[in-house]
Every structure is written in C-alpha cells, then in structure tokens.
Amino acid sequence: MKTSVIQKSLITLLFATTITTAQVAPTDQGFTDTADLPGWIISNQSSPMGDSSWFQGTSSPIIFTAQDGEPNSYIAANHRNTRSQSGTPGTICNYLIMPDLGNLESVSFYSRSRIANNNFTVFPDRLYMVYSPTGEINTGNCTDGFGDFTEILLVINPELSNSKDSTVGYPLTNWEQFSANINGNGRVAFVYYVEDAGFYGNNSNYVGIDSVQWVLAPTPVSQINFSPWK
C-alpha cells in the first residue's frame, strides 16, 4: 500500500522533530549540583583512602569561586582524598569519568588550584585528562597505570612544580582553560593524581574543575537514515 501525501507529511514532520531534538543535546557541564550528574562516575582509588572525593565547590572567596555561574557551581577535590597514617603521606588517585557521549571531537574545561592558607606556601597539585578508546571504565591505581584509560590527553603540572607561575605549575590565582582533541567513541576521565600527598605530604591542596564542554564529531552523510519511505 502506498503512503498518502498526508502520511508522508506527518512522517517528515516527525523525522524533522527528531533531528531537531538530537541537535539540542547537552554539550556542557557546569556542575551546578554535583549530586545530580547523570552518566558521570566518581571513583576514588587513593591509597590509603581518605574521607573526601570529588565534591561540590565552595562559595567561599577565601578558597575560590566558580569560573562561571553561582559561586559554588564547580566540582572540587582536595588533599583529604587520601588519609595520612602515622605521619606518612599517601597517594591521591581520584577519577571523575565523563558520560558515554558518543563520537567526540574535542573536550575543553577550566581548572585551577590555590595557594595555602598562609598565602605563601604552594602545595603542588596535578590533574590528568585520560581517554579509554574502548569505552570501558575500569580504573587503575595511577602508580601502575590508569586501567582502561590508556591514552593521556593532557597533564596539568606534570612535574608537581610549586611555582606560582601558571605556565610552569598549576594555575593558582585564576581559572585557565584547557582542551584536547579526542576523535573517538571512547570515554574521557579527569584524574586527580598526586604522590606524597595528604595532610603530611609535601604535595596536594585543592583543585577545581568547571565549565566542561564537548564537541561531537559530525555524523557522516552516508550514516544518516533519512527515511525508509518513498
């Protein structure tokens, strides 16, 4: 049976509506509420485990406020991700895994740390951005690797420098934007990875991540299913 003109019009309208809906899918995360992050996964693999993980940023200007939006609308992690035992430092290895977003072209985000409360000392922080080409999300302990996240996209402060110059160490006074090309269907994760960390360590203080944005790779025309009807 042939499809009537009216049926064709309704089908075309339905298809157009579906495409429009797909085009307005979220492409950013501002962390207004870190308790409501659909698809995001937090996995703290620090050793020994501390009493904090990734958490809602603070609105206190003494720490720092968000890069955009409400003062506390960012996600943060700190030196308490690991617990120091008998004066011995620990190792922070805390994953913030992005949702399965399909074929990604690139991801960008803002991050910063801070100077210690004495307004002089710098306890260095470090953040990895890693990629799992298979999309699997098994995490490593950082020291021996990052599990399924076998590709390192970028590292902020790889040498754990305590320099107050953001071109050498971690940004301490302002949010700075970082980005990486992806070009794949895998999963991306941020990993707060710091050795000699915790209350008794020489490293680790407090890091924030805000305004994560991603660009989806365009779907090839050959893969677009326009309509099964004539």
The full set of domains in the chain, from first to last, is 28-218 (2.60.120.200)
Alpha-carbon span 111 to 156, nearest angstrom: 9
**Tens digits of residue pLDDT in 153-211:** 999 999 999 999 999 999 999 999 999 999 999 999 999 999 999 999 999 999 999 99
Residue 102 amino acid letter: G
pTM: 0.85
CA 157 – CA 24 distance, rounded (Å): 35
Task: Report mean pLDDT in 10-residue bins for the chain, 230 residues.
Answer: 42 39 71 98 97 97 96 98 90 98 97 95 98 98 98 98 96 98 96 97 98 89 52
Least Cα distance to 107 among 206, 167, 21, 183 occurs for 183
